[in-house]
Amino acid sequence: MLATGPLATVQDGGRPGWAGIGVTRSGAADRASAALAGRLVGNDPDAAVLEVTAGGLRVRAGRTLLVALTGAPAQPRVDGRPAPWNSPFPLAAGAELALGTPAAGLRSYLAVRGGIDVPPVLGSRSTDTLSGLGPAPLRAGDLLPIGGPGEDQPVVDVAPVPPPGPDPVLRVLPGPRRDWLAPSAWRALTTAEWTVGTASDRVGLRLAGPFLDRARDDELPSEGLVPGALQVPPDGAPVLFLADHPVTGGYPVLAVVATTDLPAAAQLRPGDPLRFRPVR
């Protein structure tokens, strides 16, 4: 690991089943891109990948590796020459892979055949940035062990995946506490343009837009959260939870983003506009 950019972490499918003692699932923020990267190099579905936030990664191969890059396209270069995206390619022993800054999207994924083989914690190699479980965020100088290859062979040369588009629209279902917000809140959510706030991370996106009025002023007992839950604190500015969301929260959830749109949510950058539209 020569350089990490703003944040690079190890991620896999996360650690489901521990929510009862407050351990969130975590795992890759953009699961679709992470899973695609793993498939391109023929990995087992539970093999870990690198999640690179806002580019800037530089790594050197200790031996010849088969790798694939997916997610936010970030001008990949191997020893200065352009490298493919959404397509497996060999990285020769000693070669340096570098990512620039993504032109669109936020999170890029690097899969290595065999998977990133750091020790699992509670059954997962994912870094949970909220709880601190799993490996620490990566630093320059780290050596990343690579596991043995699985039985599957890579079979796909290139995956036709569109890059994250501008002005994304996320589909939402009514949340379990929609009745705690004023009737106008759902309409405001699904008609206004929202902006991703700067205090956004793997835990969630803080959104700026119209004030969402509550219908009730009493306090909601804390209750379970899911990725995609859109929670409205008393200050009216909603939080859209991502992979490292707290297991429970105490503010009403107005809406829940459809699971298939969570990868797009995970690619939004601070300052990006976004809209919500009800699931038909």
Contacting positions for other proteins (CB under 8 A): 16-23, 25, 121-122, 130-133, 173, 175-176, 199, 203, 219, 221-226, 228-229, 233-235, 246-250, 253, 256-259
Q: How far is the CB of 47 from other proteins (least distance, A)?
A: 19
**Comparison of 26 and 86: residue with beta carbon closer to other proteins:** 26
Q: How far is the CB of 249 from other proteins (least distance, A)?
A: 8
- Letter string b/e over residues 59-96, b meaning 16 or more CB atoms within 10 A of that residue's CB: bebeeebbbbbbbbbbebebeeeebebbebbebeeebe
**Comparison of 172 and 185: residue with beta carbon closer to other proteins:** 172
Strands of 96-98's sheet in order across: 3-4, 57-60, 96-98, 77-78, 81-82
**Comparison of 158 and 277: residue with beta carbon closer to other proteins:** 277
CA 20 to mean position of chain CA atoms: 23
Q: How far is the CB of 188 from other proteins (least distance, A)?
A: 20
Q: Residue 37: phi, psi to the nearest 5?
A: -60, -45
**Comparison of 34 and 40: residue with beta carbon closer to other proteins:** 34
**Comparison of 256 and 268: residue with beta carbon closer to other proteins:** 256
Q: How far is the CB of 183 from other proteins (least distance, A)?
A: 18
Q: How far is the CB of 203 from other proteins (least distance, A)?
A: 7
**Comparison of 69 and 256: residue with beta carbon closer to other proteins:** 256
CA dihedral of 76, 242, 6, 160, whole degrees rounded to 10 = 0
Q: How far is the CB of 9 from other proteins (least distance, A)?
A: 16
How far is Cα 103 from Cα 74, in angstroms, rounded to an integer?
7
How far is Cα 132 from Cα 53, in angstroms, rounded to an integer?
17
Of the candidates 73, 69, 67, 77, the one whose C-alpha atom is nearest the C-alpha of residue 98 is 77
